[in-house]
Structure 1
Amino acid sequence: MPPQLGKILVLLGLSLVLLGAFLWLGGGRLLGWFGHLPGDIRVERPGFRFYAPIVSMLLVSLLLSALLWLWRRWGG
Structure 2
Amino acid sequence: MVGNSFSKSQANQYFIFFSMSILILALSVCLFLFLMKILVQNLSEFDAYIKIVVITSLSRIRHVREPKKRKETKESSET
> With structure 1 as the length reference, what TM-score do the two structures score?
0.33
Higher RCO by CA contacts (8 Å cutoff, separation 6 or greater): 1
TM, length-normalised to structure 2: 0.31
Between structures 1 and 2, the one with greater helix share: 2
- State the structure with more CA Rg: 2
- Going by fraction, where is strand more abundant, 1 or 2? 1
